[in-house]
Amino acid sequence: MEKQILDYTLVPAGLLLMLTYHFWLLFRILNHPNKTVIGVNSLNRRFWVSAMMEDVSKNGVLAVQTLRNNIMASTVLASTAIMLSSVIAVLMTGKNGDRSFGVVFGDKSPMGISIKYFAILVCFLLSFLLNVQSIRYYSNASILINVPFKKIYLSPHSHHLTSEYVGTTVNKGSYFWSLGLRAFYFSFPLFLWIFGPIPMFLSCLVMVLMLYFVDVTFESIWPIGPSELEENHPHNGEV
């Protein structure tokens, strides 16, 4: 019973730490996007889509190849997730052997082990679904990005397709890909939970520190307003 207390304290604390960090990251993305990697990349993708759609005849092949590379990245993650889900499902349904191998501290009961495997399975299935959605948006964008929207804009009987809409579609694909990758990140502490709550909690601490340096930019990439422009270029009018 004393060992199970570690599961009831360290595991929720580790999950709460991961969730708190991601809520904080979401707040930063919504309110200070120029100070997060996701926000900066989102703005760059919109500029890229606008540049690609300026001249479809010249940039069409480059745009499609770039989106195809993104589709391949999502496909690899989706395939890996569904493969790992199958492995975890086999381990959960296995009747032979002791599945509590390697557990030093924490709950070793069959129910506890099953909960751990099920949590990992949910992460991989969620990653699979998110990456499939990413493939969907990238596939749609690969068609939309080659539409000559300037000619369509001149047609009075057509819907106006703009680079803003295509940029939003590309960004949605990237957001789903990032969420699918986050599901993989969450699965790592849950996997270490099989060996006990202490490795799981320590992995959550390390994961949050690692993600902080991956997600946050320490310099303002894009100027917010005229004041910052003047700070970055104080001698614009001088020779």
> Where in the chain are the domains?
7-228
- What pLDDT, in 10s, does the model give residues 192-203? 988 888 899 999
pLDDT for the residue numbered 233: 43
Collapsed DSSP state (helix, strand, coil) of residue 190 = helix
Mean of the pLDDT values across residues 164-182? 93
Q: Which residues does residue 36 pair with via DSSP β-bridges, in sequence order?
A: 216
- pLDDT class for 103, splitting at 50, 70, 90? low
Separation of alpha carbons 103 and 70, rounded Å: 39
Question: Which tokens belong to 67?
Answer: 């989106």
Residue with tokens 């760059």: 44
CB 165 within 8 A of CB 144: yes
94 secondary structure, DSSP code: -
Mean of the pLDDT values across residues 15-22? 95
**pTM for the whole structure:** 0.81
Mean of the pLDDT values across residues 46-73? 88
Instruction: Give the HSE-up count for residue 42: Cα atoms under 13 Å, Cβ half-sphere.
Output: 20
